């Protein structure tokens, strides 16, 4: 197990040095560290699977999946393996209840605005938040969708 651990540490250092993280901005540094950490966890998961420790491999694989893709691993989803991609009989098995369209109060909370915000303030808050949380910038599609929905609710679309 010692040589395996030493190899993983060496791989991690190589990724850090080869990635050019020494002279970069914080956003790219965080993205690169997430990617490097995900690759290290994936390598460790493969090593554990090869040595017969499958349960630990799934644990590390789930962590690697989250770091690399930013979503819940497919084997941790409640509808995994049903073939349809949907829970049985259209019933949700996990998560908050579906309430339909976002309310105005929820939209204001999402954008961090007061109840008397102008349309210009709404658009400015939307632009600021979407630039920070867009999936192309390292954010998640869930957050970007909620921010867009909040803007639509507040602007009457």
Please give the torsion angle defined by the CA atoms of residues 45, 1, 15 and 76, in that order, rounded to the nearest 10 degrees: 10
pLDDT at 86: 47
Interval 90-104 mean pLDDT: 59
Domain spanning 104-155: CATH 1.10.287.110? yes
pLDDT at 98: 52
pLDDT, one tens digit per residue, over 8-20 is 777 766 766 666 6
What is the distance, to the nearest Å, from the Cα of residue 99 to the centroid of all Cα atoms in its chain? Answer: 23
Domain locations in the chain as residue ranges: 2-85, 104-155
Please give the torsion angle defined by the CA atoms of residues 17, 19, 24 and 25, in that order, rounded to the nearest 10 degrees: -120
Residues 100/93, Cβ–Cβ less than 8 Å:
no
- Per-residue pLDDT band for 99 (boundaries 50, 70, 90) equals low
For the cut 50, the answer to whether the pLDDT of residue 88 exceeds it is no
12 Cβ neighbours under 8 A, 6+ residues apart: 36, 40
Query: What percentage of the chain has pLDDT greater than the value 70?
Result: 76
pLDDT at 85: 47
For the cut 70, the answer to whether the pLDDT of residue 135 exceeds it is yes
What is the distance, to the nearest Å, from the Cα of residue 5 to the centroid of all Cα atoms in its chain? Answer: 27
Interval 25-41 mean pLDDT: 78
According to the per-residue pLDDT averaged within each range, which of 9-13, 36-40, 90-94, 147-151 is highest? 147-151
What is the distance, to the nearest Å, from the Cα of residue 21 to the centroid of all Cα atoms in its chain? Answer: 21
Residues 40/8, Cβ–Cβ less than 8 Å:
yes
Q: pTM (2 decimals)?
A: 0.40
């Amino acid at each position: 197990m010692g040589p395996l651990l030493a190899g993983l540490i060496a791989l991690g250092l190589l990724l850090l040095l080869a990635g050019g993280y020494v002279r970069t901005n914080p956003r790219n540094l965080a993205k690169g560290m997430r990617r490097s950490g995900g690759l290290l966890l994936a390598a460790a998961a493969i090593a554990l699977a090869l040595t017969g420790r499958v349960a630990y491999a799934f644990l590390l694989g789930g962590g690697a999946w989250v770091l690399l893709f930013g979503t819940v691993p497919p084997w941790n989803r409640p509808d995994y393996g049903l073939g349809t991609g949907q829970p049985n009989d259209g019933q949700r098995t996990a998560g908050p209840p579906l309430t339909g369209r976002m309310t105005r109060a929820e939209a204001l909370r999402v954008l961090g605005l007061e109840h008397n915000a102008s349309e210009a303030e709404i658009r400015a808050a939307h632009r600021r938040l979407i630039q920070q949380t867009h999936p192309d910038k390292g954010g998640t599609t869930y957050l970007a969708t909620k921010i867009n929905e909040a803007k639509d609710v507040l602007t009457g679309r």
